[in-house]
Amino acid sequence: MVNLERALRSADELVLETRGRRTGRPHRVTLWFAYEGSDIWLRTDPDADWFRNLARDPRCRIVVGGDAADARREPIDDEAQALRRIVELWRVKYGAEWVADWYVERGRVPVRLRLIAP
């Protein structure tokens, strides 16, 4: 878990693996993310396959820097506030020149994942 935490603090991207909501087969996607405390924050379009897969089954797997762990999508009370926080974290991580205001405004959905202890 120590290597995974180190990777979560330093990696630019992670691989998210969900189960297909129709096929049950693994579905992998590479995403930008932010890691804060015990939360992994993602942002997506509500029509993204991986997001719809998590809506059906909140269990998933993340791979970062060669390390993998199981995780679970957690509910978010205030999505607008969470989305603003993700954008703040991304601006620090990726640079303000890459993360514009429209990241908040265009119908995006915040996603919070929690690692599941082995």
Segment 20-70, tens digit of pLDDT: 999 989 999 999 999 998 899 999 989 999 999 999 999 999 999 889 999
pLDDT at 108: 85
* Closest listed residue to residue 71, CA positions, set 28, 2, 10, 17: 17
pLDDT at 73: 97
Residue 90 has pLDDT above 70, yes or no: yes
The amino acid present at 37, given as its one-letter code, is G
Q: Structural domain tally of the chain?
A: 1
CATH of the domain at 71: 2.30.110.10
Burial 12-36 (b: 16+ CB within 10 A, else e): eebebbbbeeeeeeebebebbbbbe
Which helix H or strand E contains 100, and what residues bound it? none
The residue to which tokens 């180190």 are assigned: 6
Q: Which two tokens stand for residue 71?
A: 């995780």
- Per the structure, the complete domain to which residue 53 belongs is given by 2-115
- For 16, phi and psi rounded to 5 degrees? -105, 130
Residue 74 has pLDDT above 90, yes or no: yes
pTM over 0.85: yes
Q: Which two tokens stand for residue 36?
A: 């804060």
Band of residue 87 on the pLDDT scale cut at 50, 70, 90: confident
pLDDT at 76: 96
d(CA 82, CA 23) in angstroms, rounded, equals: 31
Mean pLDDT, the chain, rounded, equals 90
